[in-house]
Amino acid sequence: MEPEMQAVRERLRAIRQNIERACASAGRDPGEVTLMAVTKTVDPLLINTAVDEGVTVLGENRVQEFLSKRAEYRPQAQVQFIGHLQTNKVRQIIDKVTMIQSVDSLHLAAAIDKAAAQHDLIMPVLLEVNIGGEASKSGVSPAELPALLEEAGKLTHIAVRGLMTIPPPQPDPVKQTEVFAQMAALYRQMQQIAPLEVLSMGMSGDYEAAAAQGATLVRIGSALFGPRIYPQVR
């Protein structure tokens, strides 16, 4: 698998260079942007290749897949859950991840809080915002966000650290930038309510624009590991 491992190293160098350029264009320090490796369908050997090259934050989308692979990950890897999370699966990961990014309701926040209390820990979370108002995506609307932030902030075993979003695919770079700028403005507005420090936005197709507009974490999957190969359903 050495050719695939080398390809990951080369893609990683290119991604880091792209982030540096994007930040330079916006007058940002590239050190302010964390590169998360999104691991859905990726072989642990390739994931560990990225970790060995300094990528220490991994993003997991699926509970069962994560549980099946986690023992093979490098011990220094910090795993965060970024996929849609059902309340009945919270207890399976509560003591195995360092953050849950996809909190889209008070109901889920309360389930995380309850499970964290049972393990005597405080779970950092991000609130997911549906910035594009898409019916097919999870997340609260910008209008609903202040209420969720206030109520989630009352829970004693979670800590709201920031916001996360998955904006609509946008081929027009101007409109793409506008959406990220809108999300960044909402993030700054919410920082007046709570001490937020993480803005998770930007993926393989748009991470440069996200970094330029203020993302503190970008979630990179196929741009790092190549096209996803999904198991065939028989």
Q: What is the mean pLDDT of residues 209-228?
A: 96
CA 131 – CA 59 distance, rounded (Å): 20
End-to-end Cα distance, the chain: 26
Q: What is the mean pLDDT of the chain?
A: 95
Residue 171's pLDDT is what? 84
What is the DSSP pairing of strand 57-60 with strand 34-38? parallel
Q: Tell me, what's the pLDDT at 50?
A: 98
Q: Where are the domains of the chain?
A: 2-225
Inform me whether the pLDDT recorded for 234 exceeds 60.
no
What is the pLDDT confidence band of residue 227, given thresholds at 50, 70 and 90?
confident
Mean pLDDT across the stretch 121-141? Answer: 90
Q: Are 138 and 128 in contact (CB under 8 A)?
A: yes
User: What percent of the chain clears pLDDT 70, i.e. is strictly above it?
Assistant: 98
- Looking at residue 169, what is its pLDDT? 84
pLDDT band at 228 (very low <50, low <70, confident <90, very high): confident
Q: Answer yes or no: are the C-beta atoms of 65 and 40 closer than 8 Å.
A: yes
- Assign 231 a pLDDT band (cuts: 50, 70, 90): low
Question: What pLDDT shows up at residue 233?
Answer: 46
What's the alpha-carbon Rg for the chain, to the nearest Å?
17
- State CA 77 to chain mean position distance: 15
Contact 78, 58 (CB under 8 A): yes
Phi and psi at residue 185, to the nearest 5°: -65, -40
By the 8 A CB rule, do 204 and 217 touch?
A: no
| Euclidean distance between CA atoms 231 and 234, whole angstroms | 9
| HSE toward the beta carbon, residue 135, CA cutoff 13 A | 0
Reading the block at residue 27, the tokens are 């007058």
Taking the CA atoms of 43, 127, 64 and 117 in sequence, report the sign of the dihedral they define: positive
- Helical spans, DSSP H, in the chain: 2-26, 44-52, 63-69, 90-93, 106-118, 145-152, 173-190, 207-213, 222-225
The CATH number fitting domain 2-225, selected from 3.20.20.10, 3.60.15.10, 3.30.70.2740, 3.30.420.40: 3.20.20.10
Angle at 120 between CA 119 and CA 123, to 5 degrees: 85
- Residue 91 pLDDT: 97
pLDDT of residue 172: 87
